[in-house]
Amino acid sequence: MKKLFYFLCYIGLLCLPQSCKHPDVVAYGGLCGIVADKATDEPIAKASVELLPAGVTIITGSDGQFEFTQLEPKNYTLLVTKAGYSDYTSNTITVVADLTVKADVQLERLPPSLRVVNDKKEDIDSLNFGGTKADIARSFNIFNDGENALEWEITYTAEWIKSISKSSGSLKEGATQALVLTIDRSKLRPSENLTTLHITSDNGSKQLIVTALGES
């Protein structure tokens, strides 16, 4: 009977270290920041923030903020993209356990894609109708010189501008929109008349000065 008792105690001692083992506790870290315009410091919404090599992507909200949680402590990089801005790749960011590392990002805006050009693709900034009675129409073009599609719109206030063949639309990258501006000479003041067309888009804006001579 004693032998059985000692044997059971021996077995119990062998099992004791096994039962006292705790699973390894993995400590995680985090990474957060704000994506902002380099020139204005304004937060950028809808920027894509990809964490590498994890391959996880977050889209920023109106406050430009992003946050990655439950990250293994190791080295990461950020790839940040947004239409109209240069792509950004961060230096190596080291995430450590039980801490959230802050890594703000500033994106540099690309040169405006919207251009106003003549039929030779030369930039223009004015249309001159002169004083000839029959001269009531001028053509010009809107050209998208960027790598992304853009939405555009033209506004004006002068009563003597009769019409523009198209006042808003979208342009694919590399595309051109031909336009015709027509004036009403009966509404011109004597001598020189001057007004400005405001051409705006989601990737740049331009102004086109329009002049015409009325009858003295």
- Domain spans, the chain: 27-107, 114-214
SS3 label, residue 41: coil
Distance CA 164, CA 155 (A): 10
**Is the model more confident about 203 or about 76?**
76
Residue 170 has pLDDT above 80, yes or no: yes
Q: Are 27-107 and 114-214 equal in CATH topology?
A: yes
Predicted local distance difference test score (pLDDT) of residue 202? 86
Mean pLDDT check: name the lowest of 5-19, 42-56, 126-140, 171-185.
Answer: 5-19
Considering the chain, what percentage of its residues have pLDDT values greater than 90?
78
Predicted local distance difference test score (pLDDT) of residue 12? 53
**pLDDT category, 174, cuts 50, 70, 90?**
very high
Residue type, 11: I
pLDDT tens-place string over residues 82-121: 977 899 999 999 999 999 999 999 999 888 789 999 999 9
Closest CA to 87 of 109, 112, 113, 55: 109
pLDDT tens-place string over residues 3-60: 554 554 555 545 545 444 555 667 999 999 999 999 999 999 999 999 999 999 999 9
Distance CA 107, CA 102 (A): 16
* Residue 147 per-residue DSSP state: S
Considering the four listed CATH numbers 1.10.3720.10, 3.30.1380.10, 2.60.40.1120, 3.40.50.2300, the one that applies to the domain covering 27-107 is 2.60.40.1120
Distance CA 189, CA 210 (A): 14
Task: Assess contact for 179 and 139: CB atoms under 8 A.
Answer: yes
Q: Is the CATH number 2.60.40.10 carried by domain 114-214?
A: yes
Query: pTM higher than 0.85, yes or no?
Result: no
Predicted local distance difference test score (pLDDT) of residue 146? 86
